[in-house]
Each structure stands twice: as structure tokens, then as C-alpha cells.
Amino acid sequence: MQHSVPDLSDKSLLKNQTYINGKWVNAKSGKTFEVYDPASGKLIGTMPEMDKEDTQEAIKAAAAALPELKKTTARQRSKWLRKWYDLMMENAEDLAKLITWENGKPIADAKGEVNYAANFFEWFSEEAPRAYGDTILPSIPGNRVFTIKEPIGVAGLITPWNFPAAMITRKIGPALAAGCTVVAKSPGETPFTAAALAELAHRAGIPPGVVNIVTSLENTAEVGETITSSEIVKKVSFTGSTRVGKLLMKQSSDTLKKLSFELGGNAPFIVFDDADMDTAVNGAIASKFRSSGQTCVCANRIYVQKGIYDSFAKALTEKVNSFKVGGGYSEGVTHGPLIHDRAVSKVDAHVQDAIQQGGKVLTGGQKLPDLGSNFYQPTVIRDMTPSMDLAHEETFGPVAGLFPFDTEAEVVKQANDSEVGLAGYFFSKDLARCYRVAEALEVGMVGVNTGLISDPAAPFGGVKQSGFGREGSKYGIDEYMTIKMVTMGGL
Ligand code: NAD
């Protein structure tokens, strides 16, 4: 098998070992797993296939580093995060190349991700010194009451492949700011970006045992079980599918861990008759087709009011026809491959189901075998109905299904007819409607007249079966802290 190698200016960012207790290590068993470039299908390299024993070792290292970390000032932790941020920005080109290489997204998108990811370190370097407690007026005369926010302890972090850098920094940033040590299980599909981030943590001077990365592909369930059942790990933060989230919640129940889950979505995207057409079309392009539709906040069900349905469908199709699909490094490529051929099969199944039930393909609708086994045409389908698979399952691919609707009440009901509630979007110039619909949507995040909502300064998270807990923002750090109340009597 031929290796595909990105041209990194700092080759030492490319690892074939992982980082535990401040050292680069192999799996104790000596086993490795292979990672493939989703665009070319070529072997990228190998990483340690870790198991229960390796994971326990990482947890032990995190536990041993915790007492010293707890003694550090918030200002010190802030400086480490700031240094880590600076190093990410200095190495942004190389990090972006790694992301494109293992995830497939076009290099411009990968650069955007590096910036977004690094911003979590910057944001939480600023939040660390502001994790204040309260002074409380007591109900009992003579008492004094106050609270202290304390780090919860060792945190287990499990993240997906669709944002190989940002999903990790969004968790490690607040954990380290709070004073927690971490054991992060990097995604089997994209472990190289995580390893490069660990190298930069090392260069930033973060002490051994504070950041530990466990790698696995085949043994992922075993690694997950070791983290969730550990008495030492006090917190698990997971981003991934609702199915795996439910499993991890069950596994965590015996040790009653604090949990935060960022799970799957099925975002409604509503375009009202009074919307600005260009804004709505551009919003749909950004929200639906970014990362080839593989983001948890991607528009999945696009509802368009009947008065503008035909013109919106035409304008969206024209834009989609201007996309260039290919390998993420190639000049002019706007959209890359999906992560693996199982993703392509799921996307195609949703398209075929829509066609069988009367949906009309306006563009796309086919696999792209000439480019490779992981490519699918950006697709627009009209005349969608609520009985189609795409209406109630996350497609996680480049398919825009357009559902017609008549009234606001009808579309809000349809939008909320979902077990999950992560993001929702709508487009309208009517201010009263903007408040009304933003309040009516059963989701954790609403985009009004925009398709892009991710911002380290804003709380990210869902409701219903999209999970609970918030990442980023002033709330993000609380997920890694406990509130201790102190009452002093007899004063
Ligand atoms: P997934 O749930 O299969 O995997 C996510 C991570 O969990 C991976 O690192 C995987 O290795 C690990 N994992 C899988 N099984 C495990 C187990 N038994 N124990 C421990 N770890 C396990 O999800 P995926 O298909 O890789 O990612 C896509 C999903 O993630 C989509 O549903 C998407 O919506 C969701 N997602 C959500 C957010 C969010 O913030 N809400 C962000 C990105 C992705």
C-alpha cells in the first residue's frame, strides 16, 4: 500500500505514537491500527491500538498529575492555554494539512477549523481566572455563606472525526482552565491531528499527566468502558452519535459521573416567504454543505414556504452546480469526500428512499466512483415529504431535501417533530416572527438569517436526545467544576 504524505513544514508534528504522562508511547500489546486518507484511499500511517490496560495507565497518569495541577493558579493555567493557542496559530498551516489529510475536508475549511479550534484555548485562557464563587446573604443570623468553584477531577473526553481539532480543544480548553487533568480518546479515523495537538501541549510546557491521549480503532468500546466505569474519572464529556451517548450514559451510571453529551442533530432550516432570497440561499449552502454535510449542526430538513419554493429551489440548485468536488488539497475544490464508504451508502439510501417516495432530484443523486469510493455528488431534491427517511434521520452528507409548507404554525410543528434538538435555522425579515419562531423551536441553538452559528463565545449544545451540557461560552467551564458551599457559623 502506497503512503500518502502531506508536505508539513514541521515534520515532528506527524506522530505514530500517542502521548501519555508526558511521553510518546506505543500500546503495551504492541498492536497498531491503520488510518487511510478518505480522498485517495491511501494509507496515512499507523497509531497504537490501545486497550483497557493502556487506558488505565492514562487514567493513573491523569490522577497522579491532578493534585499538583489543582495547586496551580488560574493565571498559570491561563498562560498554558494562551501558549498552546499561540503554538496552534504558528503551526496553523501544518495542522490544516493534517486535518485535510485524515478527514478529507478542503484545505480552506481545514484552516477555518484550526482557527475555530484554537479560539477555544484563547477563550478559556480568558475564562480560567474568572471562575468566581459567590458570597451569599444567609437566612440564619450570624452565619456567613460563600461558594468555591473547584475542578471536578480527572475528565474523560471522547470526540468524533468530523472536527479532528475543534472537538478536542472545545473540551480540553475548559477542562484545563478549570484545573482538571484529562484522558482524551481520539477518533480512530483522525488520530494524527490529536497527536499534533499533544505535541504542541508539550511544547507549551503543560506538565506530564495533565493531557493524555488514548488511541484506538478496534478497541474503542473497551477503551470507552474503561473510562466510563473508572472510579477515578469523575466527568465524561462525549461528542458523537445519540446511540453511543446512550450507551456511555448507562456505563457511567454505576459511578454516577457528571456527564455532558453533544449528540446527533436533525436541524430544521426554514425559509419564509418574506426572507431575503440571497441570504437564505447562502445560509443553506453554508449550513447544509459545509464539510460535505458532515457537521452535527448541518441543516437536514429544508422547509421552504410555497410562495418562494420554486425560486429558492432554482437558486440553490444553481449554486450547488458551481461546487467542485475532489481531494481537499486540489486547486479550486470546494467539497471533499465523506469520511468512509459506509457514510456514502447511508447518504445514497436516503436519496433512493426519497426518489421512491416521489422526491425529484434537481442535481446530484449519484456516487462519484471516478473520484474514489468515498465521494457523493452534492444533491438537491425537491417535493420531500415527512414520511421519507431524511425527514427523521440525520443524513450526515451533502443532500439538501426541500419540503414545501404553507403556514408558520404548520412548519414549526413539523420542525419540532423530532426526537433530537440540536440546531435550527430560519430566515425571515419580520421581527415579530423572528422572536416567535426562535422561541418556538425545540432546539439548543437557533440561527436567524444565518447558517453559521458556531462561536467559542456562545454556548453550544442541544435539547431532547441531542444531549445536555454546554460547550464554549461562560458556561463551558462549569461542566468541569463543582460548587462547594461553605457556611461559617458563630461569627
Ligand atoms: P460515533 O458516536 O460513532 O463516534 C464518536 C466517537 O465515539 C468516536 O471517537 C468513536 O471512536 C467513539 N465511540 C464509538 N463507540 C464507542 C463506544 N462504545 N465507547 C466509547 N467510544 C465510542 O459518531 P460518529 O459517527 O463518529 O460521528 C458522527 C456523529 O457525531 C453524528 O451523529 C453527529 O451529529 C455527532 N456529532 C455531534 C456534535 C455535537 O456537538 N452535538 C458534533 C460533532 C458530531
Q: Which amino acid is present at 175?
A: A
Residue whose CB lies within 8 A of the most ligand 1 atoms, among 241, 252, 340, for a mutation test? 241
pLDDT of residue 1: 43
Residue 303: predicted pLDDT:
98
Instruction: Write down the ipTM of this complex.
Output: 0.94
Tell me the C-alpha distance between 289 and 449, whole Å.
Answer: 17
* Closest residue by CA, ligand 1 atom 11: 187
CA distance 215 to 188: 7
Give the model's pLDDT for residue 293: 97
For strands 423-427 and 445-448, give the pairing: parallel
The predicted pLDDT at position 491 comes to 75
| Active-site option among 262, 408, 471, 479 | 262
Cell 501558549 locates to 83
Reported as a single tens digit per residue, the pLDDT across 242-261 is 999 999 999 999 999 999 99
- Is 49 considered catalytic here? no
Asked if residue 3 has pLDDT above 90, the reply is no
187 lines ligand 1 (CB under 6 A): yes
What is the model's pLDDT at position 2? 44
Residue-averaged pLDDT of the chain: 97
Cα dist. 280→267, 310, 312, 435, 443 in Å? 15, 14, 8, 18, 20
pLDDT of residue 7: 87
The answer to whether the beta carbons of residues 238 and 248 sit under 8 Å apart is yes
Give the number of the atom of ligand 1 that is nearest the alpha carbon of residue 225.
19
Residue 437 has pLDDT above 60, yes or no: yes
For residue range 41-95, list pLDDT tens digits in order: 999 999 999 999 999 999 999 999 999 999 999 999 999 999 999 999 999 999 9
Distance CA(150)–CA(480), nearest Å, equals 8
Please indicate whether residue 394, judged by its CB atom, sits closer than 6 Å to ligand 1: yes
Q: Is the CB of 434 under 6 A from ligand 1?
A: no
* Residue 205 pLDDT greater than 80, yes or no: yes
The per-residue pLDDT for 4 is 61
Q: How far is residue 112's CA from residue 97's CA, in Å, rounded to a whole number? A: 12
How far is the first Cα of the chain from the last one, in angstroms, to the nearest whole number? 75
Q: Which atom of ligand 1 is nearest to the CA of 460?
A: 40
The cell for 166 is: 475543534
- For position 6, what pLDDT does the model report? 77
Angle between helices 166-178 and 191-203 in degrees, nearest 10 = 40
- The pTM score is 0.96
What mean pLDDT comes out for the span 177-194?
98
- What atom in ligand 1 is closest to the CA of residue 422? 41
Q: Which of 6-10, 177-181, 414-418, 481-485 has the lowest mean pLDDT?
A: 6-10
